[in-house]
């Protein structure tokens, strides 16, 4: 098969890398790809929003399967566009992608199908939103309703912080149209958990749970990012709790989408808070997580192509998905200044040294090939994943890989998986 992976981040590098392990795959194309995918796939300079260009490429090159990485093209209807042209593609339709594209829409769906989540109100009027925040007090969570690259959420510990976040979103337009409507939630306390699931209508096949680290600094300090690292599995989450999450959250929302007339096909990301009264949904996303993918896919034993094809053909229910023993830890190396403004073009050194260890995988996120060098080209630059028999081995491997890599101003968290290791 010829396979096209749409996107150019760490998630897409990981997906493309996993596809290289399938005997069914002949050639992989990435649009636009990055400096890492260029090592084994053919990068194609087509923007993820150029549906006509992507579809024409798929037709011209005889692409047998397209897999969509990022959320923006899904919400904009790329799956619908490809299917109308009889081009096989993996991911949810635009109407199902609203579960990520509008937090207000997702909240209404959760309310309708009794999915446990934080209390909320939504606003399009700034003065009304400000009055509500002052009435509720802090801590409180302010969310841009639309897509904001994982950064449109502020957990405000003070009223001043909440008011500033509201002003930035609704008055300054820091997230553009995504912040024209805001969702204001009660602040939930507890540990966060991510559960990715392969979904085909009412069929739900959960993956291994993982835990992301959203804040930029150690100890969960500083502003939210797209994710500074993650690990899987999560030992502090029992099999019974996992089953409860699947049976009371993931399956009911999947069934609800079928009943509403927009069945979900693809990867459903369930972001959870493990509160004192049980698991509650923080958010739903409609694609592989980033950087969760960098720890989940290395532990997948079943051929990813088989899962994708079974979903497209409506046969996921009959597929037995197998997982490897062991653990994985991913540490994100970021550019100086991230998640704010950051420079590009710094030469990355040590890539060959880091990859020499069979237990270390370096997944490129914000990189590009420049002559004979790989240089930085984004905020999150590299995701360094270590695997091992347990979390301690995996974590040691990941940080050993990080220490072999260098680029100017690189920063990363030193406490990825520490919450779990306290329980090991």
pLDDT tens track of the chain, all 424 residues?
999 999 999 999 999 999 999 999 999 999 999 999 999 999 999 999 999 999 999 999 999 999 999 999 999 999 999 999 999 999 999 999 999 999 999 999 999 999 999 999 999 999 999 999 999 999 999 999 888 776 788 889 999 999 999 999 998 888 888 888 899 999 999 999 999 999 999 999 999 999 999 999 999 999 888 899 999 999 989 999 999 999 999 999 999 999 999 999 999 999 999 999 999 999 999 999 999 999 999 999 999 999 999 999 999 999 999 999 999 999 999 999 999 999 999 999 999 999 999 999 999 999 999 988 999 999 999 999 999 999 999 999 999 999 999 999 999 999 999 989 875 4
CA distances from 408 to 334, 335, 381 (A): 10, 8, 11
Q: Which residues make Cβ contacts (< 8 Å) with residue 389, sequence separation at least 6?
A: 325, 326, 327
Sign (positive/negative) of CA torsion 422, 216, 356, 289?
positive
The continuous run of DSSP H or E covering 248 comes out as: none
Residue 70 phi, psi dihedral angles, 5° rounding: -80, 165
Beta bridge partners of 275: 278
Torsion of CA 74, 370, 405, 354, to 10 degrees: 80
Helices and strands of the chain, counted as H and E runs: 15, 22
Q: How far apart are CA 279 and CA 213, in angstroms?
A: 18
DSSP 6: E
Residue 364 phi, psi dihedral angles, 5° rounding: -80, 140
Pairing of strands 2-7, 27-32: parallel
* Residue ranges of E strands in 188-326: 191-200, 203-206, 211-212, 215-217, 221-224, 229-232, 265-275, 278-285
Residue recorded with tokens 């804040």: 215
Interhelix angle 94-101/103-112, nearest 10 degrees: 100
Q: Tell me the two tokens of residue 382.
A: 């590299």
- Which string of DSSP letters, residue by residue, matches 197-230? EEEETTEEEE---BEE--EEETTTEEEE-S-SEE
Q: How far apart are CA 354 and CA 99, in angstroms?
A: 38
For the chain, list the domains and their CATH numbers. 2-94 (3.40.50.20), 125-180 (3.30.1490.20), 191-318 (3.30.470.20), 327-421 (3.90.600.10)
Q: Tell me the two tokens of residue 121.
A: 């109100």
Backbone torsion region of residue 140, taken as left when φ is above 0, otherwise alpha when ψ lies between -120 and 50, otherwise beta: beta
Pairing of strands 27-32, 42-43: parallel
């Amino acid at each position: 098969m010829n396979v096209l992976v749409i996107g150019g981040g760490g998630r897409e590098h990981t997906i493309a890398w996993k596809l290289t392990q399938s005997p069914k795959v002949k050639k992989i194309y990435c649009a636009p790809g990055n400096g890492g995918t260029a090592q084994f796939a053919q990068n194609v300079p087509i923007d993820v929003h150029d549906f006509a260009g992507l579809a024409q490429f798929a037709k011209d090159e005889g692409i047998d399967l397209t897999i969509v990485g990022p959320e923006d093209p899904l919400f904009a209807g790329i799956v619908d566009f490809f299917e109308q042209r009889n081009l096989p593609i993996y991911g949810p339709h635009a109407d199902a992608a609203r579960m990520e594209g509008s937090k207000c829409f997702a909240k209404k769906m959760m309310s309708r199908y009794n999915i446990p989540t934080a209390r909320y109100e939504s606003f399009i009027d700034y003065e009304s939103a400000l009055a509500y925040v002052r009435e509720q007090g802090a801590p409180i969570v302010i969310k841009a309703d639309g897509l904001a690259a994982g950064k449109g959420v502020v957990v405000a510990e003070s009223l001043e912080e909440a008011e500033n976040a509201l002003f930035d979103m609704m008055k300054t337009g820091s997230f553009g149209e995504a912040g024209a409507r805001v969702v204001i939630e009660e602040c939930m306390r507890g540990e966060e958990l991510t559960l990715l699931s392969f979904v085909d209508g009412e069929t739900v096949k959960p993956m291994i749970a993982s835990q992301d680290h959203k804040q930029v600094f150690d100890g969960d300090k500083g502003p939210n990012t797209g994710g500074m690292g993650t690990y899987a599995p999560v030992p502090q989450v029992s099999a019974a709790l996992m089953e409860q999450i699947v049976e009371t959250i993931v399956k009911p929302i999947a069934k609800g989408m079928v009943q509403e007339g927009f069945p979900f096909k693809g990867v459903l990301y369930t972001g959870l808070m493990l509160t004192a009264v049980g698991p509650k949904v923080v958010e739903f996303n409609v694609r592989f997580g980033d950087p969760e993918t960098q720890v989940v896919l290395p532990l997948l034993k079943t051929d990813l192509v088989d899962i994708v094809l079974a979903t497209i053909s409506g046969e996921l229910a009959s597929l037995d998905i197998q997982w490897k023993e062991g653990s994985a830890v991913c540490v994100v190396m970021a550019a100086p200044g991230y998640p704010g403004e950051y420079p590009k073009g710094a030469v990355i050194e040590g890539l060959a040294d880091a990859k020499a260890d069979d237990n270390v995988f370096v997944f490129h996120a914000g990189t590009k090939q420049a002559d004979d060098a790989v240089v930085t080209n984004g905020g999150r630059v590299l995701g360094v994943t270590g695997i091992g028999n347990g979390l301690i081995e995996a974590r040691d491997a990941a940080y050993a890989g990080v220490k072999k890599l260098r680029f100017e101003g690189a920063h990363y968290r030193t406490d990825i998986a520490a919450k779990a290791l306290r329980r090991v």
